[in-house]
Every structure is written in structure tokens, then in C-alpha cells.
């Protein structure tokens, strides 16, 4: 699985002019299931996101996690994170088939870790808005 994690002051996702999910301070997590990914990888990635220390402590150092600050996560399915960009037209053959299972498993595991989770709508044409904090953007890949 792949995730692009952005530290945000706020974020929201809108589908058909209606907000489907929104958060205050926390993380916007764009997540992509890849070929051969498993439930165990979704659990591992959720734990990594929940415990990733990218929020500032009192000394101004990135030393606190989403759990430490009591922040939320907005999780949005993003199959284009699987893009192969060798040519000028991206290919997406490494993405898992368009199924909700691993996306939902990841969201559920993140919530089970104690993180309040809001979601986009799987497979929908979404408009994502965010106020990036820092900016801090981190790439996570279970293959690495």
C-alpha cells in the first residue's frame, strides 16, 4: 500500500457539492492499494500513520504523533499513487483492482488505533481542500 500523508490545519472532501468528510488539525491521508496487498499491510500502514511523529512538541521539534496531539485523519482513496510514469502517459497497472476492501480496512484500523477518521467516497469524483501545515508531506510505501 502507498500513502501520501499531509499534515493539515484542516481538510475536507466534497462530492456532488456535498461535504462527505472534514477534519480540523491532523492528517490528510491519500491511500492506494497496490497489487498483492493484504489486510496485514493495511493494518501496518494504519499503525505507521497513527504513530508517525510529524507534529511539533513544545520545543518546536517534530516529535509528536497524531495520537499524541488528539488529531483526526481524512482518508481519501487515491489510485493514481500507483502511477508508473516512465512514459508521458501514466499507467496504473500496479494498482489493486478497484475494490473497497483494503481502503476500508485501512480506515478501520486507523480508527481502531484511536484516531478519529473521516472519509472520502471510494471511486467518486472528489474535490479535496486542505490547509497544509508546514508544509509537511510524507510518502509511505509498504514495499520499502
Residues annotated as catalytic are 78-80
The 3 state secondary structure assigned to 3-35 is EEEEEEEEEEEEECCEEEEEECCEEEEEEECEC
Cell matching residue 4: 501520501
Measured CA to CA, the distance from residue 106 to residue 140 in angstroms comes to 13
Measured CA to CA, the distance from residue 25 to residue 17 in angstroms comes to 23
DSSP helix/strand/coil, 88 = coil
Cell matching residue 103: 481502503
Measured CA to CA, the distance from residue 94 to residue 79 in angstroms comes to 9
C-beta of residue 110 within 8 angstroms of C-beta of residue 26: no
Amino acid at each position: 500500500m502507498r500513502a501520501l500523508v499531509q499534515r493539515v490545519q484542516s481538510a475536507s472532501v466534497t462530492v456532488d457539492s456535498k461535504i462527505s468528510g472534514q477534519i480540523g488539525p491532523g492528517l490528510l491521508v491519500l491511500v492506494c492499494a497496490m497489487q498483492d496487498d493484504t489486510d496485514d499491510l493495511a493494518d501496518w500502514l494504519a499503525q505507521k500513520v497513527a504513530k508517525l511523529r510529524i507534529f511539533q512538541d513544545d520545543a518546536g521539534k517534530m516529535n509528536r504523533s497524531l495520537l499524541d496531539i488528539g488529531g483526526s485523519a481524512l482518508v481519501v482513496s487515491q489510485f493514481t499513487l500507483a502511477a508508473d510514469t516512465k512514459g508521458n502517459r501514466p499507467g496504473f497497472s500496479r494498482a489493486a483492482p478497484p475494490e473497497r476492501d483494503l481502503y476500508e480496512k485501512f480506515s478501520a484500523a486507523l480508527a481502531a488505533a484511536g484516531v478519529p477518521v473521516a472519509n472520502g467516497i471510494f471511486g467518486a469524483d472528489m474535490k479535496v481542500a486542505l490547509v497544509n501545515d508546514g508544509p509537511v508531506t510524507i510518502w509511505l510505501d509498504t514495499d520499502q
